[in-house]
Each structure stands twice: as C-alpha cells, then as structure tokens.
Structure 1
Amino acid sequence: MIKFHSLSQSYRKVINSIAFYPSLIAIVFLVSALITLFFEYLEPVKQFELRFSFILVDSVENARTILSILIGSIISLTVFSFSMVMVVLNTASMNLSPRLVPGLISKKSHQLVLGFYLGSIIYSTIMLINIDDVSSNNTILDIPALGILFALLQGLASLVCFVYFIHSISQTIQVDSVLNSLFSRTKYEMNALVELHQNQDEVSSGKFEQWHELQSNTGGYFKGVKAKQLCNILAREELSLYVCVKQGYFTVKGYPFLRCNKPINNDTQLVEEILSCFIFYVEEYISDHYSYGMTQISEIAVKAMSPGINDPGSAVKAIDMLSLLLIKRMELKDISVSSVQKNATSRLFFHEISINELLHDNFTPIRHYARSDAFVMENILEAFKNMLFVTSGKGLVSEEIYRYLYAIISDINRNIVNHYDREVLRNMLEAISRVNPEEGDKLLTYYDKK
C-alpha cells in the first residue's frame, strides 16, 4: 500500500508538471511523422501528389530550405514562449502570490501551445532527414512532399498559436484577470459541494466524540482524499470514518486526524489501506478544495497592500470576492457526507471549514496589513455588512461574523485617528447596525470608546 501511495503521489506530480502535455503531444507528432512517411511512397499517394503537384514542393533544395526555415523559426518561438512563461511565473510570485505558481504551471492551454511547438519541430526534423537526394532528377516523387505540406501547415498554425499565447500570457499577469479566474474556479467548486449537500441530513460533530482514533502514518499538509476508493473500502468492511481536520491542515506522524466507528487499530493492513487513500503534498490546487482559492485571493489582497505595490483598488476587489464566496459557504453544511451507494450504512464524514475559520484564515492577514488604511477598512466593513444582510443578523454564522467585527473595530480604534476617516467608518457601522439594531448598538458603543 505504501508503494501504491508513493506511485499515486508521483502520478499527481507528473500530470501537473509543465512538461506533461508537451511530452505527450511531441510523441503524437513523432508517430504521425512516421505514419506519414509510411504512406508517402504508396502508389495511390504518389498519384495524388502528381495530380496536385502545384501545391507541393517539387525539388530537394526547396524542400530542405522550407524545412530548415520552419525548424529554426519554431525553435525561436518556443524559446521566446518558454521565456515568457518564466517571466509570468516570476511576476505572479512577486506581485500576486507564490501560491498561484502551481496553477499557472499546470494551465493546460499554455502546455498545449508549447507541445504543439515541440511536435512541429520533431515532425519537420523527421521530414528533413528523410529527403532522398540520390536521384539526379530530383522529382516530386523523391521527397516526402505531402509531409512537407503538413509541416508547412503546422508552421502556419504555430504562428496562430504564438499570437494566442502572447494574448493569453498578457492576460495571465493582470491582477483583475487573475482574480476573476480564481473567483470563478472557486465558486464552481463551491457550487458542486452545494449540490452534493442538498439532499444531505444535518450531522452534529458531537456524534464522533466516542469514535476510535486513527493516527497519521506520515507528516505533511492534508490536501484531500481519494473518496471513491476509500468509500469502497469502508463499504467492504462496513465502517464509517470521520476526517477531523480541515484540508490544508499540517499533520505530523502519529497525529489522530481520523475517527472510526469501530476499533480497527489492531488490523494493521486495513489501517494502511485506509491511510493510503489520503493525499499529502505541498501545492494548492483549487480543484482539491475551494478554501485554496480563497487563500490565494486573500494573499493577492495582502500583496496589493504592500508598500512596494500599493494597490488598494485590487485589495478592495479581492475583499468583495471573498465576501461573495463566504456568502456561498453559508449554503454548505458543517459536516459533509460521502458514500458509495445512496442508502449505504457506511459513510465518510468530512469536517467542513467553518465560517469562523475562513474569516480568520482570509481576513486576518488583510486586517493586519490594511489596519491603517481607512479606505480598505471601510470596504471590509461593507463586506461584513453584506454578509450579515444575507444571514439576516441571526444564527450561529451571524454570531461569528459579529465576533470578528469586534477585532476589526479594535484595529480601527488603535490605528485610525483622523476624525474624517473615523466619521466615514462610523457611518458604515451605523449601516451595519440597521441589520440587527441590538448587536449594532453594541458595536457602535465599542467603537465610540476610542
């Protein structure tokens, strides 16, 4: 099982590598070049070439010139494109967030373009080394004319790919484009979870307190689980399992991050089989969990508030997106359930990240760096007002939001002393108080203690 787990980790690293799709496409072009050469000199193909000779290369010299130009030109495009990728990764890491780098590296459209370049080079090279210069007549039948035509078309397609690549790469380093992309992908993952939770019963975390603990056999960041594989194991053994920690939590070897409804610690093989279904790695992909997308948006806001960048407008946009995602999170249940069959007794329970945890993880860094900026703090208060409006100022979620508001007001009282700024912020607090007058009056009283 450990060997299988290691193989699974290697597989994930390979498919998320920038070289994965280019390598596959290069192999496809290599095979297509060999297939083209196989059919090139068949009699029906020769007759076709003679019939349409006006669109084909008819001399060895011209063929070599065209292929040499194509190879050199596409190599230049490839080098420039790879250089642009490195510039984008460096810019994204410095100006946006280092956590964006894995997502940019694994962006499929860029990998497909680079793969097309490499494949075209390989295809043209195979055609070049198969030009027959033995015949003194140098007729169209002595050269892979059809293959050279395909190579020329690939060269023209490479120019189109290059224009697309430049456009796409220029969009990638624009903060608005990055934020919109992160927001869309994060919301997509949350919508998928909302649909999953629609027919799910409410489960209290208290029911798991008496379950038996299972300890981690490795250290690292818990990133996800192979749910289908694990549910099959649980159904086979008639077990239910509860994952105690949130995704992204750092565990050490021996940490009890699982609870099982039956004591299975003595069955070493079964425990190893269960633990092999859990994924630990460093990179953060939004497809694994929506919280990673929220973290990346939060870090972009923090970077925007740094003295070297000083872009409060981007920080405000990130704050607004976080508020919308937190509102979407309110539609999720605190415990999510997975099972192989709808009516199966075996269940896999997940601890969903609470509103309080999301507020702390995403707004605390922003609050720390923007505590002296009245403009950003005003927009943070407005974001919280919108969240309270959705919750109608009631319930546990509302209580967590109000509790965090006191931390925000405490920072405002310590760092913003300008009377005009404080009046603007007080007006925003008055707007918040209209959602729930009782709690709002307490906030205003706390604010006015300054």
Structure 2
Amino acid sequence: MRTPRKIADQYRAIVSSIGFYPAIIITLFMLFAMVLANIEFQSWVMRIKQAWPVLFVTDVDTAKTLLSILAGGLISLTVFSFSMVMVVLNNASATLSPRVLPGLISIKAHQYVLGMYLGSIVFTLLTLMNIHTEGETLQTPALGTFFALAIGIYNLVLFVFFIHSISRSIQVDSVLNTLFAQTNKQLQNLIAYQDPRIAAAVPNYCDWYRLKSPRAGYFKGVHTQQLSKLLAQHELHMVTEVEPGFFCVEGFPYLALDRDISADEELCEQIHKCSVFYIEEYIGDHYSYGLRQIAEIAIKALSPGINDPGTAVKAIDMLSILTIARLHVADHNYTLLNTEEQQSPLLWFYEPSLASLLEENFDPIRHYGCNDTTVLVNLIEALKNILFVCEHNREYTQALYRYVQATVYDAEHCIDNPYERERINRMLTRMNEVANKRGDDIHFSLSDKEPTIATHN
C-alpha cells in the first residue's frame, strides 16, 4: 500500500511533468469527439447543415482526404515541435544551468500548445473513424470535419506563437528576467505577510526535543497549514532547524519541538508526512532557489566556453536587488493558522542568513571572475549597494565587510595591471565612504603597483 508521502511525491512529479496539461487536453478532445459523434445526425444538427451548406463537407471522399491530410500534418507539426523542445532544453542545460530545466519544462503556454497538437490528432482520428455505413449509404461526419478543420487552422496559429515563444525562452536575458520577477515576487509576498513584532518573538529552542529525519534527501519545507493544524491539536511548538535545500541524511535532527514526543510514534509519523523532500528546485517553493539559479547562470557565463561577462554583470545586479529585498525579511519566518484568532505562531522556519546567501551565490562568481576587472568592480558595487541599505544591523554589515575583504584579496593576487587596479580602487573608495558615513572605521584598498617599462638599447 502506498504511503501518503509517496502519493504526494508522485502527485508533484505528475503536476510538474511536461505531459500533465497535454494529458488533460487530450481527454477533453476525446470527450468532445464522442459528443459530436452522438449529435452528428440529429435533426437539429441536420437543419444547421442545410442552412449553412458552404461550411460542411458532404462528400465522403473529400472528408476522408481532408481528415487524413489534417492528421498527417498535425503529426508532423507535433514531431517538429517536440524536437524543438528537446533542443531548447539541451541548449539551456549546456549554456545556462541544469537547474533552470524544471522551470522551462513547466511553462504552461508550451504545455498548452503541445496538448492542442496531440488533442487535435486524437480528435481528427476519432472523427475519421466516425465515417461509417448507415444502411446502404456512407454517413459523412460533416460537423466533426468542420471542427477538425477549424482546430487545424488554430493549430497553425499556435505553431507561429510556439516558434516565437520557444526562441525567446532560450535567450539568457529572458530567462534572467523571468527568474528575477518570480524570485522578487516570492520575497515581496513574504515581506507583506510578515509582522516584524511577531517575527522578533522567536522562542529559545536550544533545549527543545529534536525530531530526526526519516529519510535522506533535500529538505524543501513542510506543508505549513496541515502541520500547523497538527501542532495546534497537540499543543506543540516547532522550529525547522534546516534551511530549504539542505541535504539531510537519515537520522539527522531537523525539527525542534518544545515537548518530547518520542513515545508517540503515530504523531511522529504524522509530522514526518508533512515534510517535503525532492530534488527539483522550483522558485515557487522558496526564493533562495531563484537566487541560486541566477548565480549559476552568471557562473556559466564566466566559463571559458561561453565567455560572456556582460551576462554575469547583469546577474550580479539582479542578485544585489534581491539580496536587498531579503534584508527586509526576518531571519525567522512563521506560519499562522488564522491571523484573527491565533496571534502566536506554532511553526517557525529558518531563513537563509545574509552570510550564507553571499557564500552560496556570490562566492562562485567571485572565484570564476577573479581575473575579470569588470566583474570584480561590479561585484564590489553590488556589495556597496547592499551595505548602503543595511541600516544598523551589525551582523549583516560584518558579513558584508568580510566578503569585501575576500574580494579585495582575490583582486590583489589576480589583477596585476595598474590601470585595472586603479578602477577597483576607485570603487573601493566609494565603499569606504559608505562605511565611514555609517561610523565604521573601515578602509579597503589595493596596494600600488608601478608599471614596468622595458627599455631597449
């Protein structure tokens, strides 16, 4: 017997599959073809055919030829479209990042187009099967043929849209803009939901009971409402001690509860069922996945095979804006069952700290772009902009200063050209000005290196 967790995992896999919407559309077309077959030769339909004879094919051979051409053409169109999807996914994995594939596969517009192609083929074949003998005469499904022709023309329009959309979906600017918009939306929704007074009242859970992970996998979160109801029912408080995307091994303590529930195996199992583990990273699950995907596109752009620092610079700018938005999110998040009746949260979450976001997203960019002055200058500028809005959070500012120091270290050892070092120093001067205005006695700079001029006798 399948457990609820396996059913939930399979449900998520089905919903995120590229064939989910096409399967629904095919089913609808099959039902539509059956309905037309049942009403095709009713009296009121025959009167419509007589009133509009120009729209309906009455000749059996003409109907067979038309339906056969439509079915063959739609099959060719479908094969070509599916081939384009595979090419796009392969190019996206090679030039952008494999992590963006789930987002590209789940584009609803592309699934709709593919579903229309497949559904139209099924509808056309079922209509062709509806040509049958009634007594000594062949009955022509004129109504079904009319709809098959109309759907075929509509599919030609969809094909033009599909070509345009699929060609744009692989463009790096389009992918970055989509990732930025989705991630920013997640952050803004989180900011609008949080009440700073409640977020600041996180309990001290150092001595709480730890519930261990029942399986190995990437922790993506919990079913918040279902788990909150369960906690309210048993009068429990809980804190998730791992961040979304953390890899848990079996037996790793990942949940903290204010009461020891080890004796209640059924309750432990119910809590485990509310935990979500899977591999794919969907931005709708957490904003950190969007940040990571943008960072990986920047890293890919800095690889020798692609060598596109302009894309890396744009990605750094986006990461700085999203990181600034993250500063307005409390380090601990919470879930309320009903904000009118329940004012005290029962469920708390860790949010990725600024230091961890810098390490996960900016570190690889700094490592692969340490020999590119433009990337380093833009990276320092992004850190300056984040520092400018950090207000007076010492933990955030110290994390930024440590990261600026790491960037200065890389520039000191990787950039030898005096002109390029001067460019970096000018940006560091701006960083120092922002730090000094905040009252921090900080000074970052690169040492002077005089150019060596060779003389020939």
Q: TM-score range by the shorter chain?
A: over 0.9
Shift of 1:440: 7.3
| Corresponding position of 2:280 | 283
What is the distance in 1 between the residues matched to 2:345 and 2:300?
45
| Corresponding position of 1:427 | 426
Structure 2 counterpart of 1:221, one-letter code: Y
What is the distance in 2 between the residues matched to 1:30 and 1:291?
42
Q: Deviations for 1:401-449, whole angstroms, at most 9, x for unmatched residues? A: 111111111111111111000000000000111112278763325x338
**1:102, 1:285 within 8 Å by CA — same for their partners in 2?**
yes
| Corresponding position of 1:323 | 320
What is the distance in 1 between the residues matched to 2:171 and 2:146?
39
| 2:290 aligned residue (293, 309, 327) | 293
Shift of 1:399: 2.0
Equivalent position SS for 1:434? helix
What is the distance in 1 between the residues matched to 2:355 and 2:77?
49
What is the distance in 2 between the residues matched to 1:65 and 1:325?
57
Shift of 1:92: 0.4
The equivalences for 1:122-133 within 5 A come to 122-133=122-133
Shift of 1:234: 0.7
Q: Is 1:396–2:395 an aligned residue pair? A: yes
Q: Deviations for 1:159-213, whole angstroms, at most 9, x for unmatched residues? A: 0111111101000110000000000000011111111113652336671112111
The equivalences for 1:18-417 within 5 A come to 18-133=18-133, 142-198=139-195, 200-203=197-200, 207-342=204-339, 343-344=341-342, 345=344, 347-392=346-391, 395-417=394-416
Shift of 1:398: 1.9
What is the distance in 1 between the residues matched to 2:288 and 2:61?
60
What is the distance in 2 between the residues matched to 1:248 and 1:296?
13
**2:334, 2:349 within 8 Å by CA — same for their partners in 1?**
yes
Q: Deviations for 1:278-310, whole angstroms, at most 9, x for unmatched residues? A: 110110000000000000000000000000000
| Corresponding position of 2:417 | 418
Equivalent position SS for 2:434? coil
Structure 2 counterpart of 1:362, one-letter code: N
**2:179, 2:294 within 8 Å by CA — same for their partners in 1?**
yes
Shift of 1:133: 4.9
What is the distance in 2 between the residues matched to 1:436 and 1:370?
25
**2:70, 2:149 within 8 Å by CA — same for their partners in 1?**
yes
Q: Deviations for 1:62-108, whole angstroms, at most 9, x for unmatched residues? A: 10111011101111110011000000100000000000111111111
Structure 2 counterpart of 1:21, one-letter code: Y
For these two proteins, the number of residue pairs brought into alignment is 446
**2:199, 2:334 within 8 Å by CA — same for their partners in 1?**
no
Equivalent position SS for 1:246? coil
Q: Deviations for 1:313-356, whole angstroms, at most 9, x for unmatched residues? A: 00000000000000000110011111212243551000011111
Equivalent position SS for 2:244? coil
What is the distance in 1 between the residues matched to 2:9 and 2:198?
34
**2:215, 2:251 within 8 Å by CA — same for their partners in 1?**
yes
Q: Which has the higher helix share?
A: 1
**2:202, 2:348 within 8 Å by CA — same for their partners in 1?**
no
Equivalent position SS for 1:207? coil
Q: For residues 152 and 335 of structure 1, do their structure 2 counterparts lie closer, same or farther at Cα, with a shift above 3 Å needed?
A: same
Equivalent position SS for 2:254? strand
What is the distance in 2 between the residues matched to 1:294 and 1:403?
20
What is the distance in 1 between the residues matched to 2:88 and 2:172?
12
Structure 1 counterpart of 2:237, one-letter code: S
Shift of 1:392: 4.5
**1:21, 1:111 within 8 Å by CA — same for their partners in 2?**
yes
Equivalent position SS for 1:349? strand
What is the distance in 1 between the residues matched to 2:303 and 2:261?
51
What is the distance in 1 between the residues matched to 2:197 and 2:116?
46
Q: For residues 389 and 448 of structure 1, do their structure 2 counterparts lie closer, same or farther at Cα, with a shift above 3 Å needed?
A: same
Shift of 1:393: 6.7
What is the distance in 2 between the residues matched to 1:213 and 1:132?
70
| Corresponding position of 1:8 | 8
Structure 1 counterpart of 2:407, one-letter code: I
**1:219, 1:251 within 8 Å by CA — same for their partners in 2?**
yes
Q: Deviations for 1:128-181, whole angstroms, at most 9, x for unmatched residues? A: 01113567766xxx2111111111010001001111111010001100000000
**1:406, 1:443 within 8 Å by CA — same for their partners in 2?**
no
Structure 2 counterpart of 1:4, one-letter code: P
Shift of 1:271: 0.5
Structure 2 counterpart of 1:313, one-letter code: G
**More deviation in 354-363 or 384-393?**
384-393
Structure 2 counterpart of 1:324, one-letter code: I
What is the distance in 2 between the residues matched to 1:412 and 1:270?
54
TM-score, with length taken from structure 2: 0.94
TM-score, with length taken from structure 1: 0.96
Identity, in percent, stands at: 45
**1:432, 1:440 within 8 Å by CA — same for their partners in 2?**
no
Shift of 1:227: 0.6
Q: For residues 280 and 442 of structure 1, do their structure 2 counterparts lie closer, same or farther at Cα, with a shift above 3 Å needed?
A: same
CA RMSD in angstroms, aligned pairs only = 1.8
